[in-house]
Structure formats: structure tokens, C-alpha cells
């Protein structure tokens, strides 16, 4: 099925480790987004990409890095994992940079111990 695919679905990291959360979409969407969902906090934007080759910071970018070298992929890198990064991470895409028509992935649940 067409959509947004996130891998892995679950991950446990030790403090200080680095890792990359993968996100791929097959809808030829121009724009992609990374959100984190914490209990009682709703969804907060980490980084977004309006189109291939561009990225911008969202509300909570510290401790993360992204790149957008292809239209399909938008990986999120945790540089040195901290317990505060324990969260559920959602990737989303939309046809263009717009509030309309976000398609979300099913999420990655990350625990940092």
C-alpha cells in the first residue's frame, strides 16, 4: 500500500548512542516532516523539508539532524541519545508545503535508557 513507512517500529538505545530513524514515502510528495509525541505534550515538530535538498528546524530540533537527498527518504538522526529523547516519533509527508493532506507513518517508539 502506498504511504509513509517508518523503520524500526521499536528501538531501545543506551544514553550516548547514535542512531537513524528511517522514513520513506512512495507518493512522490514534496514535503516531509518529523514529529515527536510525548505523554501530555501532543505532537511537536522536530524538522521538516519543503522539498528535496532543503531542510528546516521545527519547534524542538536540538539533539537531532536530518537530510533530504532524495524525494522519497527523510532520515532522522539522533546524534547522542539522551533519556529526554524517549518518545514516539512520527514521520509525515504532504504533496507540498501545506497544512493540508498530511499522511503519517505508523511511528517509531524509542526508549533511551
Partner 1 sequence: DQQVKQNSPSLSVQEGRISILNCDYTNSMFDYFLWYKKYPAEGPTFLISISSIKDKNEDGRFTVFLNKSAKHLSLHIVPSQPGDSAVYFCAASDTMNYGGSQGNLIFGKGTKLSVKP
| Strands of 64-66's sheet in order across | 4-7, 19-25, 76-78, 64-66
Stretch that binds partner 1, among 14-22, 55-63, 64-72, 77-85 (CB under 8 A): 55-63
Q: Are strands 87-94 and 108-112 parallel, antiparallel or unpaired?
A: antiparallel
User: Which one among 13, 107, 110, 112 touches partner 1, defined by CB under 8 A?
Assistant: 107
Residue environment code for 72-84, b if the CB has 16+ CB neighbours within 10 A, otherwise e: bebbbebeebeee
Per CB under 8 A, 63 contacts partner 1 = no
Is 26 one of the binding residues for partner 1 (CB under 8 A)? Answer: no
Does the footprint of partner 1 cover residue 24 (CB under 8 A)? no
Site residues for partner 1, 65-104, by CB under 8 A, read 90, 92, 97-102, 104
For β-strands 76-78 and 19-25, DSSP reports them as antiparallel
First to last CA, the chain: 34
Site for partner 1 (CB under 8 A): which residue of 48, 74, 78, 112?
48
Residues forming contacts to partner 1 in the complex (CB under 8 A) are 4, 35, 40-45, 48, 50, 56, 58-59, 90, 92, 97-102, 104-107
Amino acid at each position: 500500500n502506498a504511504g509513509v513507512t517508518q523503520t524500526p517500529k521499536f528501538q531501545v538505545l543506551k544514553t550516548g548512542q547514535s542512531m537513524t530513524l528511517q522514513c520513506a514515502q512512495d507518493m512522490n510528495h514534496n514535503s516531509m516532516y518529523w514529529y515527536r509525541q510525548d505523554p501530555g505534550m501532543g505532537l511537536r515538530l522536530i524538522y521538516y523539508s519543503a522539498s528535496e535538498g532543503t531542510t528546516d528546524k521545527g519547534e524542538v530540533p536540538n539533539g537531532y539532524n536530518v537530510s533530504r537527498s532524495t524525494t522519497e527518504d527523510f532520515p532522522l538522526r539522533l546524534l547522542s541519545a539522551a533519556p529526554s529523547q524517549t518518545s514516539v516519533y512520527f514521520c509525515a509527508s504532504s504533496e507540498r508545503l501545506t497544512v493540508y493532506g498530511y499522511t503519517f507513518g505508523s511511528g517509531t517508539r524509542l526508549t533511551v535508557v
